[in-house]
């Protein structure tokens, strides 16, 4: 039984539409929670806020563009939608991984050098990290739009041919930052294990108070490491395909690469669920927003568990 192209197009549009709605709603909850509740006004959460903005753009920009492109059977090098989608894809994926790099540095100081954390990581430093992450990502996205899409014939997919070594691009934008993050989190977990053993051997009350703070920091670090792990699981297949595509003489089918690219985009809808699952204060904030309680009074200073 052969499925007609129209049915495939409709199913893809439904999929893109549902994914776009879930990504948008989930990340709006995270953004509203951090902006509204003063308890969540911390450098770490500001980085999470900016990461959620990047994920939100995937839902409101990339998914709709992809949905529009399914209606066309032929893309030309002058296709503005095709160029814009590729540019946003590169910019937002790089923005996500740069934000995750910044978050790993934040967690390093919080766990490994807690006495220096307040001086090393503050609101100004977080703002600089966010500005650098977005600036580099936007420049890369614009460069992709300028350098790509050189084909002048009708193509059966919205793909691009950037005139630089794709392996070098993947190393700089994915493999190198991912390796740095993995090394940082490995160091963090080593220090956290030593702290846990030290806590078990202490009994004084003041140490218990410090132990509670240390435990909270380690839980936050574990949660953000899971966020990074999910990001790597979602995006690694796509970057591997892009890396080995020239080596394999372009033997990897375009639909496979497109499938892995959508696996990567699905990462944008997973992070809010991770926050809600692991963070009790995010769950409390989500409940207050969804129930409409925040519109019944000023709860910005309320304690979130």
Q: How confident is the model at residue 79 (pLDDT cuts 50, 70, 90)?
A: low
Q: Which of the following CATH numbers is that of domain 5-196+209-291: 1.10.3720.10, 1.20.1070.10, 1.10.340.30, 2.40.30.10?
A: 1.20.1070.10
More confident residue, 212 or 128: 128
What pTM, to 2 d.p., does this model score? 0.83
The domain limits of the chain are: 5-196+209-291
End-to-end Cα, the chain, rounded Å: 55
- Tell me: pLDDT of 206 over 70: no
> What average pLDDT does range 155-183 have in this prediction?
69
Q: Is the pLDDT of residue 207 over 70?
A: no
Torsion angles phi and psi, residue 155, rounded to 5: -110, 155
The HSE-up count of residue 251 (CA atoms within 13 Å, CB side) is: 4
Q: Is the pLDDT score of 248 beyond 70?
A: yes
Residues 6 or more apart in contact with residue 63 via CB below 8 angstroms: 16, 17, 19, 20, 23, 265
Q: Which of 26-40, 117-131, 219-233 has the lowest mean pLDDT?
A: 219-233
Identify the weakest region by mean pLDDT among 24-28, 193-197, 232-236, 298-302: 193-197
The pLDDT, as a whole number, for residue 199 is: 65
Over residues 147-173, mean pLDDT:
57
The answer to whether residue 254 scores a pLDDT higher than 60 is: yes
Averaged pLDDT of the chain: 80
66 pLDDT more than 60 = yes
Q: How far apart are CA 235 and CA 143, in angstroms?
A: 21
Across the range 7-32, mean pLDDT stands at 87
pLDDT of residue 6: 73
Give the pLDDT confidence score for residue 277 in this predicted structure.
Answer: 79
Task: Write the CB contacts of 36 (distance below 8 Å, at least 6 apart in sequence).
Answer: 285, 289, 294, 299, 300
Q: What is the pLDDT of residue 214?
A: 63
**pLDDT grade, residue 209 (50/70/90)?**
low
pLDDT higher than 90, residue 220:
no
More confident residue, 128 or 253: 128
Give every CB contact of residue 65 below 8 A, 6+ residues apart in sequence.
81, 84, 85, 88
Distance separating alpha carbons of residues 213 and 177, to the nearest angstrom? 29
CB 214 within 8 A of CB 194: no
pLDDT tens string 90-146: 888 889 889 988 988 998 998 888 889 989 999 999 999 999 999 999 988 888 777
Listed range (19-23, 189-193, 215-219, 222-226) with the worst mean pLDDT: 215-219
């Amino acid at each position: 039984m052969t499925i007609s192209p129209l049915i495939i197009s409709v199913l893809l549009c439904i999929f893109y539409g549902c994914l776009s709605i879930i990504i948008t709603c989930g990340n709006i909850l995270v953004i509203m929670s951090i902006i509204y509740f003063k308890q969540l006004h911390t450098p770490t959460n500001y980085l999470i806020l900016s990461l959620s903005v990047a994920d939100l753009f995937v839902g409101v920009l990339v998914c709709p563009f992809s949905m529009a492109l399914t209606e066309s059977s032929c893309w030309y090098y002058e296709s503005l939608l095709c160029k814009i989608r590729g540019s946003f894809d590169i910019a937002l994926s790089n923005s996500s991984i740069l934000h995750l790099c910044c978050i790993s540095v934040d967690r390093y100081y919080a766990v490994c050098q807690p006495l220096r954390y307040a001086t090393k990581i503050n609101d100004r430093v977080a703002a600089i990290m966010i500005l650098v992450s977005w600036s580099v990502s936007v420049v890369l996205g614009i460069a992709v739009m300028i350098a790509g899409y050189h084909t002048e014939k009708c193509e059966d997919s919205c793909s691009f041919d950037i005139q630089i070594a794709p392996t070098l691009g993947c190393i700089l934008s994915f493999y190198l930052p991912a390796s740095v993050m993995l090394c940082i989190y490995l160091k963090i977990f080593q220090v956290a294990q030593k702290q846990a053993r030290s806590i078990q051997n202490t009994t004084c009350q003041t140490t218990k108070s410090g132990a509670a703070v240390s435990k909270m920091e380690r839980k936050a670090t574990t949660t953000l490491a899971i966020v990074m792990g999910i990001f790597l699981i979602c995006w690694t297949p796509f970057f591997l395909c892009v890396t080995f595509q020239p080596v394999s003489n372009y033997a990897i089918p375009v639909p496979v690469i497109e499938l892995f690219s959508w696996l990567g985009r699905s990462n944008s809808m997973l992070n809010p669920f991770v926050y809600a699952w692991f963070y009790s204060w995010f769950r409390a904030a989500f409940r207050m927003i969804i129930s409409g309680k925040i519109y019944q009074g000023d709860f910005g200073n309320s304690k979130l568990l």
